[in-house]
Amino acid sequence: MFFVTATAFAQTENPYRVEIDLGQQTAYLIRGRRVVMRSPISSGRYGHLTETGSFKVIEKERNHYSSIYGKIVDGNGRTVIADADVDMKVPRGCKFVPAPMPWFMRFHGADGMHAGYLPGYPASHGCVRMPDQSALAFYNAVEVGTPVTVFGRTPRTNQYFRYGPQPQRGIPWPWSRQQIGPQYESPPPPRVYDSRPFYP
């Protein structure tokens, strides 16, 4: 007769899954058929797009640092090159400082979810950046093995081109105080599925 212990069952059962919508720049933490948390994200920019597909969390690390990207600072700690990589020549008296990626959840190759800066458009080198509190909540909920689905098409908005926001054309009217851009738009309501959705 075969018995399954409660401990073994608890280790194999994973109640959460993560769905990342690149088009909406939003990540969903889902338990069963219910969205329990929604977070804005900044995914990979053009030239470094976040891979789409079905993955699993393969590593969690509280204090992760990039092995490729970071910045170059001078002897006083002032940033000389903000968007640097390890292959760049470092000027004399300067050093390369790896980019911090706290609450890192790797799900594909070098790509993972982590806390980081969200400018309001896709701006990373392939990772999925989240606000600090969202990254912490996702980190505490997911485990190694948690399914991660990445779908959708990375948007290109008027505020975005390959290396960030475009310069504004013209001078805005002085009485126009409305902030414009994807970071100020209301996110769509969460979707609740009867069964696992299929994304073409």
76: confidence class by pLDDT, cuts 50, 70, 90: confident
Run of H or E including 133: helix 132-141
**What confidence score (pLDDT) does residue 188 get?**
52
pLDDT in tens, 155-188: 876 554 444 444 444 333 333 334 444 444 445 5
Q: How far is CA 6 from the centre of its chain?
A: 34
Using alpha carbons, list the distances in angstroms from residue 35 to 1, 60, 191, 192.
Answer: 39, 22, 7, 7
Q: How far is CA 24 from the centre of its chain?
A: 12
Question: What integer is the mean pLDDT of 101-112?
Answer: 94
The answer to whether 128 and 138 are in contact (CB under 8 A) is no
Round to whole Å and give the CA distance between 111 and 123: 13
Spell out the domain ranges in the chain: 15-58+105-179
CA-to-CA distance for 193 and 12, rounded, in angstroms?
Answer: 23
pLDDT digits (tens, 9 = 90+) for 22-65: 999 999 999 999 999 999 999 998 888 999 999 999 999 999 88
Give the least confident one: 111-115, 125-129, 181-185.
181-185
pTM of the model: 0.67
Are 131 and 119 spatial neighbours (Cβ–Cβ below 8 Å)? no
Work out the pLDDT band at 77, boundaries 50, 70, 90.
Answer: confident
- 15-58+105-179: which CATH number, 3.40.50.300, 3.30.110.40, 2.40.440.10, 3.40.1000.10? 2.40.440.10
Q: Mean pLDDT highest for which of 1-15, 98-112, 161-175?
A: 98-112
144, pLDDT greater than 80 = yes
